[in-house]
């Protein structure tokens, strides 16, 4: 990647342009690769939060494309950027913890936060905390989308790295 040679600001601009162009292309592995490079560059230059966002997205895209090498690079970049992912899957149903999956399934069945909390013996705030993370991981905006997302109809597939 020629964007990695030269001043960091020029490299960042080239990588951002690469990502923008690849968004509409049909090559998810190249998009994941560019997102990984951009995420690593941003993390090294001090913008770790935005860098991690790009790296998480790259990891999800690479997983969906079954691109193990790119998955490893994105995962290593996440670790270097200070992220401590408990799961390799960062998006999609496979990224959910067992508790998040259970809370999400109950919410998808139509139970409100109070009923879920009561059944699981946790606080309503804990239910809402889990659901917030579920929505982010499944890339949805609320309960109405939970059913489709849990069945794999939304978000990146949660493949595990070999």
pLDDT at res. 84: 78
Give the mean pLDDT of 61-89. Answer: 84
Task: Write down the residue that tokens 């013996």 correspond to.
Answer: 121
pLDDT tens track for 37-68: 999 999 998 999 999 999 989 988 888 888 88
Q: What is the mean pLDDT of residues 26-44?
A: 94
Residue 9 has a pLDDT of 78
Q: What is the pTM of this model?
A: 0.56
The tens digit of pLDDT for each residue in 125-148 reads 999 999 999 998 888 999 999 988
Q: What is the DSSP letter of 109?
A: T
Handedness of CA 84, 88, 92, 94 (dihedral sign): negative
* Structural domains for the chain: 2-80 (1.25.40.10), 93-150 (1.10.10.10)
Model confidence over 85-124: pLDDT tens digits?
665 666 778 778 899 999 999 999 999 999 999 999 999 9
């Amino acid at each position: 990647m020629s964007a990695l040679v030269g001043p960091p600001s020029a490299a960042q601009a080239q990588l951002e342009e690469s990502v923008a162009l690849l968004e509409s292309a049909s090559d998810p592995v190249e998009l994941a690769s560019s997102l990984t490079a951009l995420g690593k560059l941003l993390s090294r230059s001090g913008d770790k939060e935005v860098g991690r966002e790009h790296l998480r997205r790259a990891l999800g895209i690479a997983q969906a494309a079954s691109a193990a090498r790119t998955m490893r690079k994105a995962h290593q970049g996440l670790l270097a950027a200070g992220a401590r992912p408990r799961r390799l899957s960062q998006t999609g149903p496979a990224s959910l913890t067992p508790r998040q999956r259970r809370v999400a399934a109950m919410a998808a069945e139509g139970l409100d936060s109070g009923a879920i909390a009561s059944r699981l013996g946790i606080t309503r705030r804990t239910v809402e905390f889990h659901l917030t993370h579920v929505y982010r991981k499944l890339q949805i905006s609320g309960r109405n989308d939970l059913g489709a997302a849990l069945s794999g109809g939304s978000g990146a597939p949660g493949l595990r790295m070999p």
